[in-house]
């Protein structure tokens, strides 16, 4: 739960209210970040991903956020692999180049998160996707879905950044989110060339110049449209 307070001078302070999580509890009790880091490796609570029925829970703490990113990257990679394995009719060479580049970036992100999580915990399994709502033969269907995925990814990383306690993981998220934003702008420009849409007022607030941010609890219901596997974030905000 957060609320934005906008003053007359363009001030932008988002006051975040959240229940005291395990992480904040550790902070309040003065336990150092080193202990938290150890906790990621040694504490069951942080590393476990609990299967719920046919579903997957992302876990908690930094590992939970990494699994969250891994889930989104899995979704994006699967989408672009499908796009390029059955290109829509009339796909231009320029579009093919852009979409296959993006496919490769998302695969790199997906594989990176799997390896990075594996270094400290057990990553969530491969997710089963459901792309039945997408017409892969149709340019508009594909590009509008791509736009939705990229904008969703940008908002997800922007909104998850402050839940990350490790500066290393925060920087990694930063290295990836800007690439997602580059994708979003390129896809938007394919749909509406040389317009304002690459950073349109629908995603970038016209007054503050700030991009969209969403919490996991706002992102997952959108992602769920494209997933057969039920993904929950019971221990994330």
Partner 1 sequence: MKLEKIYNELQDNVSDEKVTRRDALSKAGNFGIKAALASLPFVLSSLITKSAKAQSTTDIIAVLNFALTLEYLEAKFYQMGLAAPGLIPAGDRTVFLQISKHETAHVGALQGTITSLGGTPVSEPTFDFTAGGTYPDVFTNYATFLTLAQAFEDTGVRAYKGQAGNLISNDAVLTAALQIHSVEARHASEVRRIRNNKGWITQANTGGAPAPVYNGENNFMQGGLDVRTITTVSADAITEAFDETLTKDQVLAIAGPFIVM
- Using CB under 8 A as the binding rule, the residues of this chain from 154 to 193 that contact partner 1 are 154, 157-159, 161-162, 164-165, 167-172, 174-186, 189
Radius of gyration over alpha carbons of the chain, in Å? 19
Considering the rule CB under 8 A, would residue 196 count as an interface residue with partner 1? yes
Tokens of 121: 């915990």
- Residues with Cβ within 8 Å of 143's Cβ and at least 6 positions away in sequence, in order, are 187, 190, 191
Nearer to partner 1, 41 or 195 (CB): 195
- Binders of partner 1: how many residues, by CB under 8 A? 75
Residues within window 34-53 making contact with partner 1, judged by CB under 8 A:
34
Q: How far apart are CA 160 and CA 62, in angstroms?
A: 10
Considering the rule CB under 8 A, would residue 115 count as an interface residue with partner 1? yes
Tokens 């974030």, located at residue: 233
Considering the rule CB under 8 A, would residue 116 count as an interface residue with partner 1? yes
| Least CB distance to partner 1 at residue 29 (A) | 12
Contact stretch for partner 1 (CB under 8 A) within 23-31, 45-53, 124-132, 225-233: 23-31
**DSSP structure class, residue 87:** P
| Least CB distance to partner 1 at residue 40 (A) | 13
Considering the rule CB under 8 A, would residue 20 count as an interface residue with partner 1? no
Nearer to partner 1, 57 or 121 (CB): 121
Q: Among 57, 12, 17, 43, which Cα is nearest to 205's?
A: 12
Q: How far apart are CA 158 and CA 179, in angstroms?
A: 12
Nearer to partner 1, 128 or 171 (CB): 171
Q: By rule CB under 8 A, what string of x and - marks binding of each residue 59-98 to partner 1?
A: ---------------------------------------x
* Residue of the chain from 22, 87, 104, 131 that contacts partner 1 (CB under 8 A): 104
Contact stretch for partner 1 (CB under 8 A) within 42-50, 103-111, 218-226, 228-236: 103-111
| Least CB distance to partner 1 at residue 36 (A) | 8
Q: How far apart are CA 68 and CA 74, in angstroms?
A: 10
Residues within window 204-233 making contact with partner 1, judged by CB under 8 A:
204-213
Q: How far apart are CA 180 and CA 186, in angstroms?
A: 10
Contact stretch for partner 1 (CB under 8 A) within 14-22, 51-59, 79-87, 228-236: 14-22
Mutual angle of helices 33-42 and 61-85, in 10-degree steps: 60
CB 22 within 8 A of CB 12: no
CB 230 within 8 A of CB 72: no
Q: Among 135, 8, 152, which Cα is nearest to 71's?
A: 152
């Amino acid at each position: 739960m957060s609320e934005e307070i906008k003053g007359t001078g363009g001030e932008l302070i988002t006051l975040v209210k959240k229940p005291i999580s395990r992480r904040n509890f550790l902070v309040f009790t003065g336990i150092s970040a080193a202990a938290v880091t150890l906790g990621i490796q040694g504490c069951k609570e942080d590393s476990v991903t609990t299967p719920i029925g046919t579903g997957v829970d992302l876990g908690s703490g930094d590992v939970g956020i990494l699994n969250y990113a891994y889930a989104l990257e899995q979704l994006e990679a699967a989408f672009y692999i499908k796009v390029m394995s059955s290109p829509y009719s009339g796909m231009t060479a320029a579009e093919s180049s852009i979409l296959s580049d993006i496919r490769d970036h998302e695969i790199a992100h997906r594989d990176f998160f799997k390896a990075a999580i594996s270094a400290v915990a057990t990553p969530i399994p491969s997710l089963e996707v459901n792309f039945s709502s997408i017409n892969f033969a149709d340019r508009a269907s594909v590009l509008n879905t791509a736009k939705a995925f990229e904008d969703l990814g940008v908002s997800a990383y922007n909104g998850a950044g402050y839940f990350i306690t490790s500066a290393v993981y925060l920087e990694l998220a930063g290295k990836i989110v800007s690439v997602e934003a580059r994708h979003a702008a390129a896809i938007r420009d394919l749909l509406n060339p040389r317009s304002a849409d690459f950073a349109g007022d629908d995603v970038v607030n016209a007054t503050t110049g700030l991009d969209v941010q969403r919490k996991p609890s706002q992102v997952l219901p959108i992602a769920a449209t494209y997933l057969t596997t039920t993904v929950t974030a019971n221990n994330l905000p």
